[in-house]
Amino acid sequence: MIETGSKREFIENEFMVSSINAAFQRAVIYSRLIKVEECDREELRKELSAQIKAKAHAYSDKVDEDKHIDYIVEIAKTISDKFKSIIHDGEFRIGIAQKAFNLYLKYLWCVGRIPTPPHCPFDGIIIAKLKINDPNVETRWTELKLINDYEKLVVAARNQANDKMLAEWELQVWNENRDRNKSKPTAKA
């Protein structure tokens, strides 16, 4: 019989891989000025995974919003400091850090491993729902560098969510968007 710990480790690894892949898929992560070796890319992914896992342990209890924001900043800063020479513009952006971290927490929450996290993953689908018209706020999550802009996304999401927790609101929006896309007819060749 397979041990419960082995199953848990497997699923949490799958959550991590999916979270990092989702955060990296639409973003420029690595420098375009040099050839970044695969071993360096893998080392960055391992460090990001370690940072996310270390911080996610705190979420077995409720984590307040300020601490959650601190964790996002710490993840971005640690990756920036350790991998400055191989990442795009020498900076691991807040938008990438929040997407990977918030999505990992979402997975853990959805399977009942942690209480509802304070925020949700902000991506193009969710940000489009926020209808932010301030040209001074970066609304492309892949380019989001400032924690203040991230906090503005949180405020706008709260306005949309009304009395729902952000994670619950985002899950509903994401599922509705998925269902809407499923019902669209596909083009025939």
Q: From first to last of the 189 residues of the chain, give the pLDDT tens digit.
A: 455 678 889 999 999 999 999 999 989 999 988 898 999 999 999 999 999 999 999 999 999 999 999 999 999 999 999 999 999 999 999 999 999 999 999 999 999 999 999 999 999 989 988 988 888 788 899 899 999 999 999 999 999 999 899 999 999 998 888 777 666 655 554
**Annotated domain spans of the chain:** 4-182
pLDDT at 2: 53
The secondary structure of residue 47, as a DSSP letter, is H
- How many angstroms separate the CA atoms of 173 and 170, rounded? 5
**CB–CB of 186/134 below 8 Å?**
no
Distances 94 to 9, 159, 182, 186 between C-alpha atoms, Å:
27, 22, 31, 35
| Nearest Cα to Cα of residue 52 among 27, 30, 78, 29 | 78
